[in-house]
Chains A and B, each alone.
Chain A
């Protein structure tokens, strides 16, 4: 088990390093932010002077190693636009995003798990069919469209919910629904089909033959086994939720890291983009690591291999 954990950790480290290289060089391809930062009438000399004072005129490879040395020590540099430490800007906005993604994940699970179980145990019924339609809709509606429709209906027409901001639980309702739609659909579909597969397996038939209660069969036998593939997808969905938060936050003017990232990209605020991408990489790699380790807990066979 220890060797397994160590190898996964090494792998995770390599991924984060790869991401740091990719983000650093990719964002510099389109040019540096000097001209975007100064007013339009700034002269070439003023732009050049600014560029020099910021160190953007040095070879990119030199800049990268300097960045790497500092980043390892936790210093991600100053944001050009905000004139504040870049990582601090990202971390300040992290709780808002975690709250939104967490609510969305909870919402997904609260809807998907019961819906999938009901659909799988009552195949072909109206509930099953409704579940399929709902998950099809959830998968095919683009987030931004769903978000704007929600605002149109619940804010503009019905005046039930405030359209934007982060001010109490009311402002969390629409963003988390918009964000949860896709994950809910995926998890429902996957869990339903895994459940159906498991419910048809020999040991379930044996359990039924023994005369075990149906509830016990479904929850204790079938669900545990169907959970393994679903867990992988849930792990992936956490990454998707954090990424999806970029669009959702922008539309609902929700003060999370997604909006910060979009602004930073538009402004070529290099340090903020780097801090954002690296933090996301670490988070997603961490979640995958956690999922890998959870397999081991759920399935003893994986622990040995």
Chain B
């Protein structure tokens, strides 16, 4: 093992590799930060370029892009309120409010260090536990996936804001949009109205950018308040040791959730961020509340989404099974180099395998200084007059969406969801449940259908698979507890209206206790 790590070091530390490590990190940061442009896209474009490089250099380059693009997504999430990638959606919930309170530097600092923590955590797991964990991942079947998707969906009850009814309404509208497209099991076209563009469903990234980007432009145009005003100032970004100590438990939980979800093939970064955010939301006892700029609301999803990076490599390297779209691209790059994945990689190309592990490690390490360095100038790059900002955001959004697959229809999707989101805003309906359901709806559906096929159309798998059963019970708890606690609270308010008025503090305290 130590010998292999030493060999990996020797292979990784050449001038060329370090150059590409830095270059890849920069590329990833910038691409991740631009709404619509994803790390996946960058890696897909770079795979053919790596063909002329040595295996180690190529993989190092791709690794650096992968890790830093996930982090980069949080920059626009915090500064503009538009997630640069879907995986930084949860970061907007607390990051943007925090930035608007004038603590943009702090928010970015938290996201940087949380990302690095999550990334390093998963890199270490990847290095030491790959072969053990891969076996566990294979045992995850459709029944278990379905349960995980339901767990992700269950958080809509707690992120829906003040009104449960409006939160659920938003969620159901999201589920409706998730069923558009061809039925995954029998090919029947649902709500496609004869359009080929809708056959594979609503393009997620386009919808998401519409909901965040277009709305912020419309809000800005509508009123001259400072609410969606200029990009917040980035002051000093170092968050201090005290904050680090405070966030450590959040980081650990986020990293563990991220790494585990990453290891399960096909579960994806998005579920991980929702789960991590919701977990922290439920156990949080500190002020301010989640959704109003709580540092933990940034730390949890950012540690989780970078935790996924290392985790998603586990099934790929150990079994040759890519866990998500990005690791599928890594598989392509490995194959182009004539390398096979699986145990053979470790026995025959230990230097390549271990230099890849180390690349994951160091990509996360240099991400912090490079990120902080870029952040200083980010503000300058984006410092345009307030009145022009809307137009610039719109241009970013539209070009970003168009670049997904050069499809004008995606741009229409983006505009449609922008208007839908604006209507939501007008009626004070939260958009977060809509997004969660849109992202996870089809995962829940196709895995349910697959599980039914595997079980000869019997629903018995819901209680015969222990993992699925446990996850489903947790989901039920996670879904109903916030609803019940809110109902109890409003009942109490009805009975003792004076008591509540008497002291806001008292109410806040009961609320925190109810959250348990």
Real binding pair: no
A-contacting residues of B (Cβ < 8 Å)? Answer: none
